[in-house]
Amino acid sequence: MTGAEVLVRALEDLGVRHVFGYTGAAILPVMDELGKSAIKIIVNSNEQSAAFSAAGYSRSGNGVGMAIVTSGPAITNTLTAVADSFTDSVPLVVIAGQVPEHKIGTDSFQHIDVRNVFGATAKKVILLDSISNIESVIKESYFLSKSGKPGPVVIDVPINLQQKVNAYDGCDISHYEKVFSHETHLSETQCESFFELLGKSRKPLLYLGGGLNSVGGSLAIRRFNALFGMPSVNTLMAKGVLDERDPLSLGLLGMFGTPYANRVIQDNDLFFAIGVRWDDRVAEKVGFAIEAKIAYIDINLNKIHSIRRERRPEFSFMGDATVALGDLSDYAQKNGIRIDIGEWQEFAADLKKRWPLDYRRDGDMIQQAETLDLLNRFIDDRTIITTGVGNHQLLAAQYLQMGSPKSFLSSGGFGTMGFGMPVAVGSHFANPKATVVVVDGDGSFRMNMGELHTIGSLGLPIKVLLLNNRCDGMVRNLENTACNGRHSATERDSDVNFAEMAKVCGFSFFKRVNERECLQSSLESFWNSGGPCLLEVMTDPEEVLYPIVRPGSSYADMDLGPYIKEKASAPN
């Protein structure tokens, strides 16, 4: 076989059914072989979108997303998506063409030093240097990307190796599964230590992160909490890990967290953090806010070490959170361990009732929060939400209550605008029976607007809810406080009609809404229509995202804004 044939056969052995990419001369032999195979090539509008779609395939499904691109600017275009996946611990494999080996290190056309470009933004960067190891590199990279702390692997394939001929070994996949399988279990002593800590707590609180955002992780924490009934808060990456419609699931914690999540943390006495990276939007406020003891489980060795230095947890364990929670649940059931936290449960559930989210209801213009509050009535456990980055992202995290893992996909640690539409493309191919909905702002939407053509030309049944306030709302809000209301580069006096653009791109439903009176019926039509759908809702540029815990402040200093008010306690 040629090297290109070997590469494609290795992908077939791995069960790969879809790849996302954009072709070019330096990757043409591989693309040609893919075209002869049963693997479907999804051609995106650019290479960044291709890598984001592959990441969306991983984020929403059980496989590893594959992006295949050519050399030079094509591979550098994937850098943002690779860095985004690295920050959010998302498995991803990027395969890139490269100039012939004898031209590496020269100023050859479209040559780039891939190792130096990607550096610490990838889990591993591999320059293939022999046709004899193409199969092993592809298969190892697939399993490496999803083992331990997941992340992206970048493989650089010189074109001469794609063209050379060699035998295909056909190494059994089970070999690689064994090599990359590392289960670390809690000992009996460690379990005893944890439950001794929990037994002394009267107000334990779960803090759930993206390390649990898998089917297995969700099942593990649901099993654990069926035994103990602890109130929970979560990161952006962990929406849906526990059912957010549960009275004890208090939602997003942090700078833009829900009012009840940011209040309940002020009263807990045991903060049980699982699969979280302690990002600054949460951790800085925790330092100010709580005197609680800390228990921590995570697979990232560096993070465990730093938390042990900075937070001094009473209990910590480095390993797969799913495995560790299974060990704790097994130990608790074997030893009949239970806790009595009835008063704390009532307090947490009452907080959620007394401090509901709210927004301006009497303004002339539609509010983004209002639109998302209505959208929440349509979504179910077969819905996958993807978002851009900005106010609409955090409002979606606040208002949309997800009941399943891998159902809310957003750029967490890297905060990448332009994330929503390409990730939705990957999510559709990983979950063809799901209802995939993009919640986007006009700023994020424009970043990868070419995916409007991808969705429309392929006839993908993806719904795009575009909240257009003709500005970059989150930065505009910041300008109001930091720049005395001066708006230097965030406002757009005029804009095109994006719904009309969707029409040109082949969407079956396209509509722009300006009046509140039409919003409910338009959302219903949008939801019930088949094929590619876009609903553009013109929203209030003066809308401000609340609550907010400002930098340097604690949760006790949370600004609720003018519309979030305490309601009377519900009668018993």
Side chain identity at 422, as an amino acid letter? P
Domain stop point among 326, 354, 382? 354
Task: Single out the residue of 414, 191, 203, 207 nearest to residue 307, CA to CA.
Answer: 207
Number of independent structural domains in the chain = 3
Kindly state whether residue 556 falls inside one of the protein's structural domains. Answer: no
Phi, psi of 219 (to 5 degrees): -60, -40
Residue-level pLDDT at 570:
52
Please indicate, yes or no, whether residues 331 and 411 belong to a single structural domain of this protein. no
Residue-level pLDDT at 289:
45
CB 80 within 8 A of CB 419: no
Residue-level pLDDT at 147:
94
**CB atoms < 10 A from the CB of 568, how many?**
7
Cα angle 342-200-309, degrees, rounded to a multiple of 5: 120
Please indicate, yes or no, whether residues 311 and 398 belong to a single structural domain of this protein. no
Kindly state whether residue 563 falls inside one of the protein's structural domains. Answer: no
Please indicate, yes or no, whether residues 316 and 413 belong to a single structural domain of this protein. no
Please indicate, yes or no, whether residues 127 and 103 belong to a single structural domain of this protein. yes
Kindly state whether residue 568 falls inside one of the protein's structural domains. Answer: no
Task: Single out the residue of 358, 367, 375 nearest to residue 464, CA to CA.
Answer: 375
Kindly state whether residue 361 falls inside one of the protein's structural domains. Answer: no
Please indicate, yes or no, whether residues 533 and 509 belong to a single structural domain of this protein. yes
Kindly state whether residue 359 falls inside one of the protein's structural domains. Answer: no
Question: DSSP H helical segments within 361-472, as ranges?
Answer: 368-375, 391-399, 420-430, 442-447, 451-458
Residue-level pLDDT at 485:
85
**pLDDT tens across 270-290, in order?**
999 999 988 766 655 555 446
What SS3 string covers 305-362?
A: HHHHHHCCCCEEEECCHHHHHHHHHHHHHHHCCCCCCHHHHHHHHHHHHHCCCCCCCC
Please indicate, yes or no, whether residues 75 and 155 belong to a single structural domain of this protein. yes
Provide DSSP, 468-519: E-SB-HHHHHHHHHHSTT--SSSB-S----HHHHHHHTT-SEEEEE--GGGH
Please indicate, yes or no, whether residues 175 and 192 belong to a single structural domain of this protein. no
**pLDDT tens across 36-69, in order?**
999 999 999 999 999 999 999 999 999 999 999 9
Give me the residue label for tokens 């996958």: 384
Structure tokens that stand for 341 in this block = 């936290």
Residue-level pLDDT at 302:
79
Kindly state whether residue 555 falls inside one of the protein's structural domains. Answer: no
**CB atoms < 10 A from the CB of 455, how many?**
30
DSSP 8-state assignment for residue 185: -
DSSP 8-state assignment for residue 274: E
Side chain identity at 201, as an amino acid letter? S
Asked if residue 547 has a cis previous peptide bond (ω within 30° of 0), the answer is yes
Kindly state whether residue 572 falls inside one of the protein's structural domains. Answer: no
Side chain identity at 79, as an amino acid letter? L
344 backbone φψ class: left, alpha, beta (φ>0; ψ -120 to 50) = alpha
Cα(348)–Cα(145) distance, integer angstroms: 38
CATH number of the domain where residue 213 is located: 3.40.50.1220
Cα(189)–Cα(167) distance, integer angstroms: 51
Please indicate, yes or no, whether residues 390 and 268 belong to a single structural domain of this protein. no
Please indicate, yes or no, whether residues 170 and 67 belong to a single structural domain of this protein. yes
Q: How far apart are the first and last CA of the chain?
A: 73
Residue-level pLDDT at 351:
97
CATH number of the domain where residue 49 is located: 3.40.50.970
Residue-level pLDDT at 288:
42
DSSP 8-state assignment for residue 38: S
Please indicate, yes or no, whether residues 7 and 136 belong to a single structural domain of this protein. yes
CB 264 within 8 A of CB 351: yes
Kindly state whether residue 334 falls inside one of the protein's structural domains. Answer: yes
Cα 88 to Cα 76, 368, 470, 474, 540: the distances in Å are: 19, 26, 29, 21, 31
Domain stop point among 328, 354, 380? 354
Q: Which residues contact 461 (CB under 8 A, 6 or more apart)?
A: 428, 435, 436, 530, 531, 532, 533
Cα(420)–Cα(51) distance, integer angstroms: 13
Residue-level pLDDT at 311:
75
Spatial strand order in the sheet of 152-158:
40-43, 18-21, 65-69, 92-98, 152-158, 124-127
Please indicate, yes or no, whether residues 38 and 141 belong to a single structural domain of this protein. yes
**CB atoms < 10 A from the CB of 235, how many?**
29
* 412-450: b (≥16 Cβ within 10 Å) or e: bbbbbbbbbbbbbbbbbbbbeebbbbbbbbbbbbbbbbb
Please indicate, yes or no, whether residues 477 and 496 belong to a single structural domain of this protein. yes
Task: Single out the residue of 111, 116, 58, 66 nearest to residue 88, CA to CA.
Answer: 58
Structure tokens that stand for 353 in this block = 């009732």
Domain stop point among 322, 354, 386? 354
Cα(239)–Cα(81) distance, integer angstroms: 21
Phi, psi of 465 (to 5 degrees): -100, 105
Cα 319 to Cα 154, 232, 270, 278: the distances in Å are: 25, 21, 20, 16
Residue-level pLDDT at 569:
64
pTM: 0.95
Cα 557 to Cα 206, 233, 273, 382, 553: the distances in Å are: 22, 18, 23, 37, 6
CB 333 within 8 A of CB 547: no
Tell me which residues of the chain have a pLDDT lower than 50.
288-289
Give me the residue label for tokens 């190494």: 171
CB 116 within 8 A of CB 76: no
Provide the domain limits for residue 116: 3-179
